[in-house]
Structure 1
């Protein structure tokens, strides 16, 4: 038997083939289902510590997002725009016949999941959402504009802009690819103890396809499902204040601050597992 009873499949979608992995018992009576969505520059293996914690009692689905890990794009480079990524997420749910799923997103996986829970397809499919270090892009733009309008909040705005300088750097052609290839990939792998291969270069398309889009200038849409936002206070990329105002449009919101860095789901998997067990309720784990 493979690790944690792993079952693999390939899900074809428009312009890509997604590598999908399932762990633990098959979904059924009394077995809760989790969908894990990774961020940049990772693939689904970033969740191995969490899967190890939960696979004995939960049906766990994870997948490599398009052109990360074992997933690939087909033909010419396809779209990496957020609506396409949301379509990918729902294609995975359809292929695995999953419903009433608790989605857990980290970094770019969380950004995708924020958009997915506001999609009309969420009804009956997604029951709750845990977000770690990945803001809703509409809320992010709204947050920035609110601080721009009020001089007393300019320090918050400047602090986040400084944290986000890498996003602007990723828009430059060729240079980010070279820096990752010759310098950053090795340093990242040594620091984290995880192999990412060419994921950093392949994933640059996420930033180039989304952060200049005018679509995210619209006000955030309301969310009715329960949402927990985990805020690692030592995250070098995201200000802890980015959660301010979420309560205006997320009806059931829990914000949890943790004394950790950006990759908290990997470095503190037992803590995340305990949150998830609690949210499924007594007797479900």
Structure 2
């Protein structure tokens, strides 16, 4: 019998209707609650296998972000700002029966998570954070500037800039959408075993709105809650060196290097579940 019984609801946020999915145990103070946020070009289904691993012991929540899956956003491209995405996350938290959650994010879900845990609204509601393959944007900028000023780090800088080629490519009008429709969708589905949204422009708006933008980032703040950063050592997009300097503004930091690529949470769900189960989500 499949233990992954799904309960769906719709949560309204400014300019969006978010599809939210709950699994596993019912909310209860004795049951750990976990909120998982996906990245690009995924939707909540990228976590299905790890949700199945944890369903008998945890209250689990995942949702399609406003650029993906069954969620719907209205308005102009500006509705995809990082600030709007963080507001969505807290709108989902407001709708839950759980008093607090551990937050886990992958790719753009992790980027949103970094901003959320530095938001004053996180106090008492987010008890810890697990980040996989998605840096804090303000730390990323600080890391790039520091590497540029330090000659011995120039090889690291060159390596990360090479890995980030797609960020500039995504700024080109129409071409990335055509590439997804004609070339990349089937390859991605085969590699990660997940479906891709048929409107890739929604996801690309994350890059076009938030990178190379004059829109101010959410405030940069010191973090006291436990933070675990999972670093897949074979990630083709992000250098393992990006964790350098995190300990200067995170009081309780754990860095875990794992064998795998960017989609490690989907390709190694049992390992991901064990990280969550034994690392930052001990039985209550």
TM over 0.5: same fold? yes
Q: CA deviation at 1:26?
A: 1.2
Root mean square deviation, CA, Å? 1.9
In the TM superposition, what whole-angstrom CA distance separates every residue of 1:137-185 from its partner, at most 9, and x where no partner exists?
0000000000111112111111100100100000011111111111111
Residues 281 and 117 from structure 1, CA distance in 2 versus in 1: closer, same or farther, beyond 3 angstroms? closer
Q: CA deviation at 1:76?
A: 4.8
Q: CA deviation at 1:280?
A: 4.8
**Distance in 2 separating the partners of 1:219 and 1:142:** 14
The correspondence of residues 48-127 of structure 1 with structure 2, limited to 5 A, is: 48-77=48-77, 79-127=79-127
**Distance in 1 separating the partners of 2:214 and 2:47:** 32
Q: Comparing 142-151 with 190-199, which one deviates more in the overlay? A: 190-199
**2:157 corresponds to which residue?**
157
Q: Which segments of 5 or more consecutive residues in structure 2 lack a partner in the other structure?
A: none
Q: CA deviation at 1:77?
A: 4.9
**1:272 corresponds to which residue?**
272
**Distance in 2 separating the partners of 1:165 and 1:113:** 23
**Distance in 1 separating the partners of 2:94 and 2:217:** 30
Q: Comparing 213-222 with 112-121, which one deviates more in the overlay? A: 213-222
Q: In 2, are the aligned partners of 1:99 and 1:126 still within 8 Å (CA)?
A: no
**Distance in 2 separating the partners of 1:69 and 1:283:** 32
Q: CA deviation at 1:212?
A: 1.4
**Distance in 2 separating the partners of 1:100 and 1:197:** 30
The correspondence of residues 1-285 of structure 1 with structure 2, limited to 5 A, is: 4-77=4-77, 79-198=79-198, 200-214=200-214, 220-280=220-280, 282-284=282-284
**Distance in 2 separating the partners of 1:62 and 1:226:** 21
Q: CA deviation at 1:3?
A: 6.2
**Distance in 1 separating the partners of 2:109 and 2:181:** 23
Equivalent pairs counted in the alignment come to 284
Normalising by structure 2, we get a TM-score of: 0.95
Residues 183 and 150 from structure 1, CA distance in 2 versus in 1: closer, same or farther, beyond 3 angstroms? same
**Distance in 1 separating the partners of 2:3 and 2:18:** 20
